[in-house]
């Protein structure tokens, strides 16, 4: 390899690294799929819709955390944690509902650019229902 070719490759690698280092990653300010704020949330499971607020924040590295309160035939309260990778949200919410029933709502969905909404498929594992069942979820950031 000639000295000119080596110099070109070093220059190209430097420019490529500089371009990559300037792109925000999940959890960084300016990342287009971060979810932060209050979200109107809806979960449909076994023909029943539970709806209510979720307060969510994205931390560096794309980790998601927050609180969830859904009302339907009964109130469901849970912690919310998961991660963002690209435009994909993956989460779990360990919850408690009426009568001391405990469970886990797990989901994966697509986040709209800007983090204003997300929706996808979920699974509910409820100890009182005694079974796992499919669900869907949707989240939409509340207006200020």
Q: In this predicted structure, what is the pLDDT of residue 91?
A: 97
Q: Where are the beta strands (DSSP E) in the chain?
A: 37-45, 48-59, 63-71, 75-85, 88-97, 101-111, 117-126, 131-141
Q: How many of the other CB atoms lie within 10 Å of CB of 89?
A: 26
Contact 56, 65 (CB under 8 A): yes
User: pLDDT tens-digit profile of 33-86?
Assistant: 999 999 999 999 989 999 999 999 999 999 999 999 999 888 999 999 999 999
Q: H or E segment at 127?
A: none
Q: H or E segment at 15?
A: helix 3-21
CATH code, residues 37-141: 2.40.128.120
Domain boundaries, the chain: 37-141
The pTM of the full predicted model, rounded to 2 decimals, is 0.81
């Amino acid at each position: 390899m000639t000295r000119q070719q080596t110099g070109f490759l070093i220059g190209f690698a430097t420019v490529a690294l500089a371009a990559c280092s300037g792109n925000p990653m999940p959890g960084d300010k300016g990342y287009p799929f971060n979810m932060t704020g209050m979200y109107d949330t809806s979960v449909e499971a076994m023909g029943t819709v539970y709806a209510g607020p979720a307060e969510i924040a994205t931390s560096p590295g794309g980790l998601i955390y927050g609180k969830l309160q859904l009302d339907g035939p009964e109130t469901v309260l849970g912690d919310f944690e998961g991660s963002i990778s690209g435009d994909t949200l993956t989460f779990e919410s360990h919850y408690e509902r009426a009568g001391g029933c405990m469970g886990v709502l797990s989901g994966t969905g697509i986040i709209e650019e800007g983090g204003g909404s997300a929706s996808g498929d979920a699974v509910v594992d409820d100890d009182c229902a005694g079974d796992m069942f499919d669900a869907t979820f949707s989240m939409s950031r509340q207006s200020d």
